[in-house]
Structure 1
Amino acid sequence: MSLAPPPSPRIAAFDGLRGIAAVIVVLYHYLCLLHPHLTPSMGRTLTDFAHTPVHILWNGRFAVAVFFVLSGFVMAAAAERRRHALLANVFSRYVRLALPVTASCLVAWAWLVAFPDAALRMQETVASPSRWLSFTYQEPLKPIWIAVADGMAANFVRGFSRFNNVLWTMKFEFLGSIGIFLLYYLSSGRLRLTMLAAGTFVVVLWLPDPYLAFVLGAGLYEMHRRGLLRPLPGAALPVTALLAAFILGSPGEGAHARLDLPEVPESWELGEPRGLMPVLAATLLLYAVLTLPMLARLFETRVPLFLGRISFGLYLVHVPPLYTVVAWTYLSGAPEAVIAPAYAVLVLALALIFTRFVDEPVLALIAAVRGRSSSGTRSVPADA
């Protein structure tokens, strides 16, 4: 079958969606610290809001699933354009992740030096502390070279960081991307579609569920480049997909048992944070964005696009201030009416600085290296 040239992977609505997802993660972690009763996985007691579709506005695990599916889509597009450059693709992806991640570990290390015992004091002082506080250093801080090693290698190997607890996603990001690069290197045409379908079953049966997001994201890309996901104004299927995304993506951890739903394998439970439901919900949401023009235009407005530009920086820098300066300020008796807006301004400023001086220079570096490499070698047609 003859295909048209691959469409540009730069879909503005996806940038805006990524920005909104980053804000959801920030709000989720803020509530994890100061209002754990609103976050099913962190509090001892739970309010009724956590059982409603409103919970999608701060369901951080669903937002992370959106990141993973977006990564599958974008990595598939990159692999298609540079199909034969397997090692270069893997190395570029490592650099793109590792350098900003290491910078975030150094920033986190500095926050922890400035406020070394805030998390421990909060855990010992607050009547019902969040268990989220235990996901960072509460013992003597490791030397700065440990922070560098954590960013460059350790978090990609073990899947977590005590300097910056959001880095548990980086192992999935890196290995999931390698899987997409390898699949595109080894296959094309119908064979690639067969391998994507097989990959779905392999992940469901044997691998952690977040990897399914990369396979489904790549599947969406393949449908998109074949012209199968054209905008369908008001069509029933995209609208149904959007509603299903809210239904499957809003429940928090433990919702399956609280709603007394029939027994199923754990990864199939509604609300299981790293199960199938958040991944399926995120995939349906991306499908709806691709096929509902009104929804796409919503994410293409100025604020979501600005947040999309700083989204990686926002994701990487927003947590360390929470278990340091925010915890310290809260224990000092400052009202939350002051803490919340001050934190919002702080993290937006930090994310913008991080984007300007870390994230965008890393992207420019990778682009420059690719440009020099391609200019010195004969290009290989995509269908060779």
Structure 2
Amino acid sequence: MRELVCCNTGSTDSSQQEYLTSKTASLRPSPNFWTNLASSLTPEIFQISKRYAGPLRDTAYLDGLRGVAAFLVYIVHHESWAHPVWLPVMEMGYGYDGHRYFACLPVVRILFMGGHFAVSIFFVISGFVLSRSPLKMIHDGDRAADLAKVLSSAMFRRAIRLYTPVVATTFIFMTIWHIGTGVWTAYPPHQANYAAEVVAWVREFSNFSFVFRHRGIAWLTYNLHTWSIPVEYKGSMVVYVSLLALSRSSIQSRVSVVAGLIIYFMYVVDGWFISCFLAGLLLAEFELLQRSGQLPKWAWLNFLRTYQYLLLRLALFAGLWLGSQPGGAPDIDYLKRSPGWYYLAFFIPTACSEFKWFWFTVAAVLTVTAVIHTPWLRRLFEAPIAQYLGRISFSLYLVHGPILWLLADRLYTATGRTREGQNQGILAWKDTFPLSGAGPLGLEFNFLACHLIILPITLYASELATRLIDEPSVRFAQYLYRKTLA
């Protein structure tokens, strides 16, 4: 009996040991886990030639254009921040008050101060991309049920997809301020403690998320660059509603109504951004009709087809020229005093409260039109680096500001580029690594040297935000929508 008991005990101990060993092994991260983790943390920029070597979707060039536009926004905010004294000159036209700098030349100016032009391009591209799939269904006919499903899903997911990354990135930024003894940033003002900061953040975001305010822009001081997110949401809703309302209309009627709305929002009321979205819708309509060989034989379309080669080049030139508009003019009289803009200023409608957006809207529509219909321009924006920027464009737009305030401000101060209003906390960095400020305006040595550090960190942070915040927010919105279905 004792032997039996001992034997049973030994058997039990052995099984328990095997059980514990198997459980421990199951809790140990698998090799695939570490491989996937390393892969997700590896900077994608080192793999772009391989990642984007395969076939691209037929509108990939617009992703590339969006990426380049996001990079222009990155540039303009750094140029503005690092050149506070010269900013009034950089924001005005070439030759204004006798100032003649390379960075202010027409077209060239876009590479330095093209942020507002880039935002208009964002909105035109959004109008195109959001409407293209529903328009395909409308053109196919007899797909009312499918169209309703697509629009229902898109409208449900849009706010979640746009606002979730804003919530995540601003919360992280705000939290960093209160680590340890605190991390100072020039803007916005910080609350006395973390709890008060969270309360202020919640209150401000609540106001920011309400898009139906009667007037003014919804500012979120935790990242001022997010002003365009509510604008993007409103423009998206106008596109979806327009598609639904005109889904049973003839092509001619739909084109006429949308064109009329574009004029209304540009000339009658202050709705330039809606004109951008609706112009994108029209461009998608004509692109699909041309692709399928079903373009109507209207007289004005026949004229455009006949002189397409010349007109597209004129559209590109005019778009880039108008996109070079001095965006910093405080009122229209300043614009009139800028060489080359006197007569153009008279075309700006009085309904446009911020007059700069009129020509930026026209410029964006002309430029996107030229890109859509010009093969060599499409190939340019299908290049791997443009596709890479396109993939991270939303995150780049959201994180470049916080990185500017947390890191770049300190590097600029360390290399000799200081600003007024910096408190003692950041002035400790002043001239700790002085570099020469020689060079053309906007391309000074100490400014460019800082970006050897700032740019890689910003791109990598954008990659991480894309993988860990942006893409999961897309899946989260899809998950929530599926959960609501009957």
Q: TM-score range by the shorter chain?
A: 0.7 to 0.9
Task: Measure, in 2, the Cα distance between the counterparts of 1:140 and 1:368.
Answer: 36
Return the offset for 1:326: 1.8
Query: Could you say which residue in structure 2 is the equivalent of 1:125?
Result: none
Return the offset for 1:155: 4.7
Return the offset for 1:172: 1.0
> Bigger radius of gyration, 1 or 2?
2
Query: Could you say which residue in structure 1 is the equivalent of 2:116?
Result: 61
Q: 1:351 to 1:151 in 2, by over 3 A?
A: farther
Aligned AA (2:241): L
Task: Measure, in 1, the Cα distance between the counterparts of 2:480 and 2:307.
Answer: 42
Query: Please, which moves more after superposition, 101-110 or 89-98?
Result: 101-110
Aligned length: 349
**Cα shift readout 1:38-74 (whole Å, capped 9, x = no counterpart):** 5417xx9976332422011131000111101011111
**Root mean square deviation, CA, Å:** 3.3
Q: 1:348 to 1:286 in 2, by over 3 A?
A: same
1:108 maps to 2:173: yes
Q: 1:151 to 1:241 in 2, by over 3 A?
A: same
1:201 maps to 2:201: no
Aligned AA (1:193): V
Aligned AA (1:236): L
Task: Measure, in 1, the Cα distance between the counterparts of 2:476 and 2:398.
Answer: 19
Return the offset for 1:269: 12
Pick from 185, 191, 194: which aligns with 1:140? 191
Return the offset for 1:117: 3.8
Query: Could you say which residue in structure 2 is the equivalent of 1:94?
Result: 159
Task: Measure, in 2, the Cα distance between the counterparts of 1:23 and 1:40.
Answer: 18
Task: Measure, in 2, the Cα distance between the counterparts of 1:283 and 1:154.
Answer: 28
1:363 maps to 2:474: yes
Pick from 289, 292, 296: which aligns with 2:378? 296
Given that residues 105 and 148 in structure 1 are in contact (C-alpha distance below 8 angstroms), is that contact kept between their aligned partners in structure 2? no
The answer for unaligned runs of 5 or more in structure 1 is 1-7, 120-135, 378-384
Task: Measure, in 1, the Cα distance between the counterparts of 2:399 and 2:283.
Answer: 30
Return the offset for 1:366: 3.3
Given that residues 191 and 197 in structure 2 are in contact (C-alpha distance below 8 angstroms), is that contact kept between their aligned partners in structure 1? no
Task: Measure, in 2, the Cα distance between the counterparts of 1:47 and 1:116.
Answer: 39
Q: 1:339 to 1:261 in 2, by over 3 A?
A: same
Query: Could you say which residue in structure 1 is the equivalent of 2:320?
Result: 246
Task: Measure, in 2, the Cα distance between the counterparts of 1:325 and 1:71.
Answer: 31
Task: Measure, in 2, the Cα distance between the counterparts of 1:98 and 1:294.
Answer: 35
Query: Could you say which residue in structure 1 is the equivalent of 2:338?
Result: 258
Return the offset for 1:330: 2.8
Query: Please, which moves more after superposition, 363-372 or 301-310?
Result: 363-372
Given that residues 190 and 197 in structure 2 are in contact (C-alpha distance below 8 angstroms), is that contact kept between their aligned partners in structure 1? no
TM-score, structure 2 length as denominator? 0.65
Given that residues 249 and 281 in structure 1 are in contact (C-alpha distance below 8 angstroms), is that contact kept between their aligned partners in structure 2? yes
Q: 1:153 to 1:138 in 2, by over 3 A?
A: closer
Q: 1:256 to 1:344 in 2, by over 3 A?
A: farther
Pick from 153, 158, 178: which aligns with 2:237? 178
1:226 maps to 2:289: yes
Identity of aligned residues (%): 26
Given that residues 313 and 370 in structure 2 are in contact (C-alpha distance below 8 angstroms), is that contact kept between their aligned partners in structure 1? yes
Given that residues 72 and 218 in structure 1 are in contact (C-alpha distance below 8 angstroms), is that contact kept between their aligned partners in structure 2? yes
Given that residues 53 and 246 in structure 1 are in contact (C-alpha distance below 8 angstroms), is that contact kept between their aligned partners in structure 2? yes
